[in-house]
Amino acid sequence: MLKIIPILIIIIFVVMFISFKTTNQKPEEVINKVENSTIKKVLVDTSEDNKALGFSGQKKLVSDSKGNIFVAYRKKTNNYYEIFVAKLKKDGNSSHQVVFKKNVSNISNKANQRVPSIAIDSKDNLHVVWYGADSNNTDGDREIKYSNSKDGGNSWSKAINISFVEGFGGEILWQEHPDILVGKDDSLFVVWEGKDKESSIQLIKFSKSKDGSNWTKWKDIKVAPNSESRPTIIQDKSGIIYVFMYSKNDLNNSQIWYSISQDSGENWSDWKNISNSSGDSRHLSATLDSQNNIHLVWRELNQSSGKTQIAYSKFNGTIWSKSEIISQSNTFQFFPHIGINLDDTLFISWLETANKSDFPGDDPAEGNSYLVLKKVNDSSFSKKLLIDSDSFFPNVISDSRSKSSFILYSTKEAELLIMFGVIDP
């Protein structure tokens, strides 16, 4: 009996050691298993700030018909921000390798370019929009710019300003945060926020093109009494175009609104409130499933806790479901992004931090990236899953042509890294 006791003590210490190592794994090791799936991560590029992949709504990640991935982001060149697109070539077994990183803006007058949105058409042509000035002498005069590639991202057309907007009362132009959509017939639709000659507040503007060279004169979708911000645009299978944004209501709370067009953007419905919340609601992302349902997420203030949370609602073409919180937390949750794969599995990512981060301005300088997922017809989301610690602005693909799902985020290490991951089923 006395001989057995030392052996038992040794076994207990071994078990405790193994348990300690398991519970103290690095995030890079933890993420290798996500809901019985594996994730393979690739370093895309480095950048200088945590907003390289910001913000919610703008599309940063597309895949072509061969399974290649294209990533849009910003980084500095000669001390000024430019817009870059990286190509990750599919290398079999869902592996991807970075084959190039191209500066697609190439604005030669040392003017900052910001917040790209990328889309891909049925012929695998790439389309990117962003906002920026034409000269560093007028850095505030930001216009909406566009470039395309018809050879898989190897070369890009010269950047153009798609639709000039005259500033209010001689003020700076200040057009920002565009989002691009390739429509059912490969038509191009772009929405953004900005002032104009008739409006001292920022309104959601719209322009479209058949070829990327000739764009219609901008129009305000619907004038509202308060400033309108951060639009997102999608189209359902019947051809109806939906534009989402946030703006204040009569109680002076920012809310999530939407407008629809049934004639390719010629006419738009009045803005309708989706969130209907007593708390500040902003920063949205939307996707469409195979059954023509729209899935929407946004950041919303919980009045009781004083913390922000990620809300979700589903639209069946007639009504929006009652919003639900996807993952309870006693911290602040910011900048959600929603995507879907060919199996109709929803993936929702966001940034989470204990820091108030200038709420409601939402400017986090620290945090972790998380993920939940579920089949579109399931009743609940998965448990919250860590993507990576010290990471920012996670994005999930919203036009995947694969059963895999793709994640993009930036993370703090010796320098800011832009990471790409594949979750295999």
Q: Mean pLDDT throughout 357-381?
A: 95
The better pLDDT of the pair 344, 29 is held by 344
Beta-ladder partners of 100: 87
DSSP string for 264-325:
TTSS-PPPEES---SS-EEEEEEEE-TTS-EEEEEEEE-TTTS-EEEEEEEE-SS-BPPPEE
What gap in Å lies between CA 163 and CA 102, rounded to an integer?
A: 25
pLDDT of residue 414: 66
pLDDT tens digits, 177-214: 999 999 999 999 999 999 999 999 999 999 999 999 99
pLDDT category of residue 13 using cuts at 50, 70 and 90: very low
Look at phi and psi of residue 31 and say left if phi exceeds 0, alpha if psi is from -120 to 50, else beta: alpha
pLDDT category of residue 348 using cuts at 50, 70 and 90: very high
Please give the share of the chain, as a percent, with pLDDT higher than 90. 76
Contact between 409 and 387 under an 8 Å Cβ cutoff? The reply is yes
DSSP string for 156-214:
-PPPEESS--PPGGG----EEEEEEEE-TTS-EEEEEEEEETTEEEEEEEEEEESSSS-
Q: Give the residue among 376, 374, 399, 401 at the shortest CA–CA distance from 385.
A: 374
pLDDT tens digits, 114-166: 999 999 999 999 999 999 999 888 888 999 999 999 999 999 999 999 999 99
Beta-ladder partners of 142: none
**Residue 225 above 70 pLDDT?**
yes
pLDDT of residue 403: 81
Tokens found for residue 86: 């990286």
pLDDT tens digits, 32-69: 455 555 678 899 999 988 899 999 999 999 999 999 99
CA distance readout (Å), 154 to 86, 128, 149, 157, 397 = 10, 14, 7, 11, 22
Please name each of the domains of the chain with its CATH number.
36-424 (2.120.10.10)
Q: Taking all residues of the chain, what is their mean pLDDT, rounded to a whole number?
A: 89
Residue 318 — φ and ψ, nearest 5°? -125, -50
What gap in Å lies between CA 329 and CA 365, rounded to an integer?
A: 19
Q: Please give the angle made by the CA atoms of 207, 209 and 215, to the nearest 5 degrees.
A: 60
Sign of torsion, CA 118 121 125 131? negative
What gap in Å lies between CA 242 and CA 73, rounded to an integer?
A: 25
What gap in Å lies between CA 334 and CA 362, rounded to an integer?
A: 7
pLDDT of residue 94: 65
pLDDT tens digits, 279-329: 999 999 999 999 999 999 999 999 999 999 999 999 999 999 999 999 999
Q: What is the DSSP letter of 138?
A: G
pLDDT of residue 37: 57
pLDDT category of residue 5 using cuts at 50, 70 and 90: very low
**Residue 3 above 60 pLDDT?**
no
